[in-house]
Amino acid sequence: MLTMLQIELTKLHRSLALLLALSAPALVGLFLFLNGLRDGQQNSWAIWVNAGCGIWAFFMLPMSVTALTALIAQAEHAPRAWDHLRTLPIPRWRIYTAKTVMVLMVVLLMSALALALTICGGGLVGLIRPENAPTGSLDVMTASALMLRIAMAAVLMVAIQFYLAVRFASFVPGLVLGIAGTFFSVVATAEQIGVFLPWQMPVNILASDAWRAQTALGLGFGLGLAVLGLAILVLARRDVA
């Protein structure tokens, strides 16, 4: 399995997925940095970090997962490499497991990078315009734990997007579902039923209502792992369309 993960990492370096993994979190930090330079803009570190986590969980993470799963799947679809992979003397489930682990690792690293650049953005604002610098103390451990929960709540969304991206040779089904899921999560933000929408689960980690955050984490991570395992088994038993 370790060898397969190394192979997947090599494929990742040769694709646009690496560019996506760097650019998407960078946009979060850049937005907060530019917004922090505005006159009269001064917030505590807690508000600053929550804003960065909110932007990431609300919009950038769902769209990044959609693009990431499509890019990783198309690395095999485009050259019709699935036919070759399926003839190798390796259990098929290991092939898909290696890819899912890689996707989850990239999502986790992207989330960590988004948090790091959010903090860096606040620090740069303080250097350029000290009067706008974030106030109070920065609790890195609390911020890291929050971003980790956001990434965990995204597992169900990752499972669904990964299945569609691999199941169909065309990237269109996964892309359409990702856009639709993100759209409905935006318009249903205030609705209670929105907590059950996989694309809205990450942002519900930031909800003031404890039940929303707990439900989002339980379904997003717990159910997400189950769906991911089921997706691997289903993909291993059938051919790609």
The tens digit of pLDDT for each residue in 33-87 reads 999 988 677 889 999 999 999 999 998 999 999 999 988 887 766 556 555 566 6
Q: What integer pLDDT is reported at residue 196 of this predicted model?
A: 87
Does the structure show a pLDDT above 90 at 157?
A: yes
135: region left, alpha or beta (phi > 0 left; psi from -120 to 50 alpha): beta
The answer to whether 127 and 159 have CB atoms below 8 angstroms apart is no
Mean pLDDT for 115-138 is: 93
Q: What average pLDDT is seen over the chain?
A: 86
Span 99-104, average pLDDT: 90
- The pLDDT assigned to 223 comes to 96
| pLDDT tops 90 at residue 167 | no
Report the percentage of the chain scoring pLDDT > 90.
54
For range 207-232, the mean pLDDT: 93
**pLDDT at position 186, please?**
78
Residue 201 pLDDT greater than 90, yes or no? yes
- At residue 98 the predicted structure's pLDDT band, cuts being 50, 70 and 90, is confident
CB-CB contact of 205 with 216 (8 Å): yes
CA-closest candidate to residue 153, choices 208, 203, 227 = 203
* pLDDT exceeds cutoff 70 at 13: no
How far CA 160 is from CA of 20, 48, 218, 229, 230, in Å, comes to 20, 31, 16, 11, 11
The residue with greater pLDDT, 88 or 200, is 200
More confident residue, 206 or 17: 206
Q: Is the pLDDT reported for residue 239 higher than 70?
A: no
Residue-level pLDDT at 79: 54
Q: How far apart are CA 169 and CA 152, in angstroms?
A: 28
